[in-house]
Structure 1
Amino acid sequence: MRRALPLLPLLALAACAIGPSLDERLATYIGRSELELVSSLGVPTRSYETGGQKFLQYEENRTVAVPGGFIGGPWGPWGPYSRGFYGGFSTTAYAPVQCDVTFALREGRVASYVYRGQGCA
């Protein structure tokens, strides 16, 4: 049983593992046709054609809650100034985040992609 104890923290970390990154998910579209892309992601927000290339842009806009933090005295939450008018919890704020993904298509197939925005994850 003693040998199993050092593995417990590793198993706990493995249980918290997250899925593939945004790059890994978007890379699966490279080489796919425009039809496959639109069938999978839906109709793009906008498109543009120039120089024999077509660009399809997808936008995601959402609002996230940013929890407030503790506002306490100089010695932390248990200091002499941490209660009453000097301390407490601030309110939750809401912030808009956006992620734009643009796919470049050549000859009807996804050749590359680029994304930008603070909401890309």
Structure 2
Amino acid sequence: MRRLLFLTLLALAACAQEPPLEARLQPLVGRTEAELVGALGVPNATYEAEGTRFLQYEDRTSTVYPGDPFWPGGPYRRWGAPIYSPPLVINRVCSITFGVRQGRVAGFTFRGNGCR
């Protein structure tokens, strides 16, 4: 019985997902620039054009998956020295740009393979 309860809780936890990035950023629209900086920190870059101030935030992450050994002659022939495949490195970047007009966040855009 406890095992069934544990498996049920594990399955529910696997299904739990956080809201999409757009839904998490939407509450910042309408806030002041100071509130935005207070919530997200100092931006990586700023730019002004035609009365709009753009604040860009960038997040970079890298994940390294170690190489796997394999044996010449198939997986069940364990004679000889194993050969290792090289590690796999995945780089992810998410760039989020907020547009601020008259001191308030007017909108945002995001792009990159790391935006979740």
Unaligned runs of 5+ in 1: none
Q: Identity rate of aligned residues, in percent?
A: 41
With normalisation by structure 1, the TM-score equals 0.71
Output the aligned Cα RMSD.
2.8
Q: Does residue 31 in structure 1 map to residue 30 in structure 2?
A: yes
Cα deviation, 1:17-62, whole Å, max 9, x if unaligned, reads 1222211211121111100000111111111111111110011122
1:106 matches 2:105 = no
Instruction: Tell whether 2:81 aligns with 1:66.
Output: no
After TM superposition, give the deviation of residue 68 of structure 1 in Å: 4.1
Q: Which runs of 5+ in 2 are unaligned?
A: none
Out of 13, 16, 24, which is 1:15 matched to? 13
Conserved 8 A contact 2:94-2:115: yes
Q: Which of the numbers 114, 117, 120 marks the counterpart of 2:112?
A: 117
Structure (1/2) with the larger helix percentage: 2
* TM norm structure 2: 0.73
| Distance (Å, rounded) in 1 between the aligned partners of 2:65 and 2:79 | 24
Over 6 Å off, 4+ runs: none
Tell me the matched-pair count.
113
**Which has the higher mean CA deviation after the structures are superposed, 59-68 or 8-17?**
8-17
Distance in 2 between residues matched to 1:68 and 1:114, nearest whole Å = 36
- Aligned pairs (5 A) from 1:31-50: 31-50=30-49
